Structure 1
Amino acid sequence: MSIIGTIIVGFVVGLLARALKPGNDRMGIILTTLLGIAGAFLASFVGQAMGWYRANEPAGWIASVIGAIVLLVIVAMFRRPRNRMY
């Protein structure tokens, strides 16, 4: 897959992960895309290494979304809450 295709898939996976994960994630579109790409790579590597699925199977999409959700939870644990005065 090309770099543009990977970015598009990462964007879609990141949006799906943010929609499925409860809570308010205050992050921009670039961080959402980067987390989606990282989640897709992480899930692809782990799933194929464990023999759960092969490349280009629908389970890869599901695993990519789960991987992105895991990364969203990890990022949320390490982010500081911002104190804003309104």
Structure 2
Amino acid sequence: MSIETILGAIVIGAVIGALGRLLLPGRQPIGWILTVVVGIIAALIGTAIAQSLGVATTNGIDWIEIVMQVVLAIVGVGAVAALRGRTRV
């Protein structure tokens, strides 16, 4: 893995995580680092699901893959926010 690949994953994860957090209604008690981590995980899982479903890789933007990633980020941010909200006293 090169440094460009790692930095690219962080940037894409930050964007996907931020979109997931913005589209989730209400306030989420999680920080930006956890949002980026959830975004990276959502991006990786979304890409794997898109590839297993046979979504074709195009020369342009793969909108179906991005929608999958953002939906997974919404679910992930919601789950992490719910877990963090319950554990706080």
TM-score normalized with structure 1 length: 0.81
CA distance in 2, matches of 1:13, 1:50: 20
In structure 2, the residue matched to 1:47 is 50
In structure 1, the residue matched to 2:31 is 28
| 1:67 paired to 2:72 | yes
Closer, same or farther: CA 62–37 of 1 in aligned 2, 3 Å: same
Q: By how many angstroms is 1:81 displaced? A: 5.2
> How many aligned residue pairs are there?
82
| Larger mean Cα displacement after TM superposition, 10-19 or 41-50 | 41-50
For the aligned residues, what is the CA RMSD?
A: 1.8
CA distance in 2, matches of 1:59, 1:81: 35
The higher relative CO (CA closer than 8 Å, separation ≥ 6) is in: 2
TM-score normalized with structure 2 length: 0.79
Paired-residue identity, %: 35
| Larger mean Cα displacement after TM superposition, 19-28 or 71-80 | 71-80
Give the helix-richer structure, 1 or 2. Answer: 2
Closer, same or farther: CA 60–26 of 1 in aligned 2, 3 Å: same
